[in-house]
Amino acid sequence: MDHLSYAAQIRRGVVRLNRRLRQERGEGGLSPNQLGVLGHLRRHGAATPGEVAAAERQRPQSLTRVFAELEADGLIARTADSADRRQSVLTLTVEGLRALERDMAERDAWLAAALGTLNETEREVLRLAGALMDRLADTEPQEPSSGTAALQEPSSGTAELRRPSL
């Protein structure tokens, strides 16, 4: 199987699982963009709107409404940057953390139940696949070589992964 065939199969699986996880969100749950912003602030701490947008691979203008909604709902706080008063800094509030954890818990509960239908080896393969997908999300394609895009290793934070015996 070539890299393009692998890519198509992985993409299909990721898209289908993502759709299912979105369906498992409770009524009035957070939007994907809201989850992205809150998740970024949880993982990385305070950040400017531009930093959040860059990490989410979006333009800051695309997230302006999302930032305003989250701030109006008390899920994030916006303050002026002490070094540059023209710039604002976003921080996750306690209520924002609760909303994020509640939203994640609903989907995690479904996923945990679904994982219970798999055997131990399959669960371990998926755990490793999750770590690899995180790594892939942080890579930048280089010039194509022999018909496929080579991936550049992220500069830091890579976990050592071993192939499980099947």
The pLDDT tens digits of the residues spanning 35-44 come to 999 999 999 9
pLDDT score recorded for residue 70:
98
pLDDT score recorded for residue 145:
52
For β-strands 76-80 and 88-92, DSSP reports them as antiparallel
Instruction: Kindly list the domain boundaries of the chain, sorted by start residue.
Output: 31-136
> Fold for domain 31-136?
Arc Repressor Mutant, subunit A (1.10.10)
pLDDT score recorded for residue 138:
82
In the chain, which ranges are E strands? 76-80, 88-92, 141-145, 148-151
pLDDT score recorded for residue 47:
96
pLDDT score recorded for residue 37:
97
Query: Which has the closest alpha carbon to 35: 88, 96, 95?
Result: 96
Q: What is the mean pLDDT of residues 12-33?
A: 87
Tell me: the pLDDT tens digits for 100-118? 999 999 889 999 999 999 9
pLDDT value at 164 more than 50 = no
Query: Which has the closest alpha carbon to 92: 137, 128, 38, 134?
Result: 38
- How many other C-beta atoms are found inside a 10 Å radius of the C-beta of residue 31? 14
Predicted model pTM? 0.72
Distance (Å, whole) CA 79 – CA 97: 18
pLDDT value at 158 more than 60 = no
